[in-house]
Amino acid sequence: MEIQKLYDLNDIEFEDIAIGLVRLAKDIPDHEFFYKVNQINGLAFSRKKDVIIHGAYYDYHFPRFEAYHRFTKTCFTFISNRSSESKQKKLQTELFTEEENIKFLLNNQVDVEYILHTSEQIPDFSVILLPENLVFPIQDYILGSEEELYQIIQYYE
């Protein structure tokens, strides 16, 4: 008996995801940044389970922080762009591997500290107030479905 194909993956349209890129004006630890953000907004950003990416030689951990807006019932997620921890799985024996002990989620945006994502289809990042002298304005960025970060956000959502 032949199984009927319910849908073709090539026919499914994936929608792009709008994210915000957050750059810090000065280098401060995560806990201090989110303490100030929580004070200004009345939100309760807390650390959630890290985003983990498994490489050939390392497992990379990216801190993740979430909060829910009381009135809009929207979930806001900050994910660190730079891995905070990397656990070596096996010894590198090749001279020129593309894998290092530090990884960025957005390789073309290494100056970005956090990636801001929301559960809304049309995100409004202006709802979150950020410390004026600590953060540059949030930059809107569109992720296509072919990008690795798109798949990661979909998995952790």
Mean pLDDT (the chain, rounded): 83
Q: Is residue 99 part of a domain?
A: yes
pLDDT in tens, 45-57: 999 999 999 988 8
pLDDT score recorded for residue 9: 44
Q: Is the pLDDT of residue 69 over 90?
A: no
Range 18-57 burial, b when 16+ CB lie within 10 A, else e: bbbbbebeeeeebeebbeebeeebebebeeeebbebebeb
Q: Is residue 104 part of a domain?
A: yes
Provide the percentage of residues in the chain whose pLDDT is more than 70.
88
Domain range for residue 32? 17-156
Provide the percentage of residues in the chain whose pLDDT is more than 90.
45
Q: Is residue 2 part of a domain?
A: no
Q: Is residue 7 part of a domain?
A: no
Q: Is the pLDDT of residue 20 over 50?
A: yes
Q: Is residue 76 part of a domain?
A: yes
Q: Is residue 8 part of a domain?
A: no
* Residue 125 DSSP one-character state: G
Q: Is residue 65 part of a domain?
A: yes
Q: Is residue 95 part of a domain?
A: yes
Q: Is the pLDDT of residue 8 over 70?
A: no
pLDDT score recorded for residue 95: 67
pLDDT in tens, 72-129: 788 899 999 999 998 988 887 776 667 788 899 998 899 999 999 988 877 778 878 8
Look up residue 151 and give its amino acid.
Q
Question: Can you tell me the distance from the alpha carbon of 105 to that of 19, in angstroms, rounded to the nearest whole number?
Answer: 13
- pTM for the full predicted model: 0.82
Q: How confident is the model at residue 14 (pLDDT cuts 50, 70, 90)?
A: low
Please state the domain count of the chain. 1
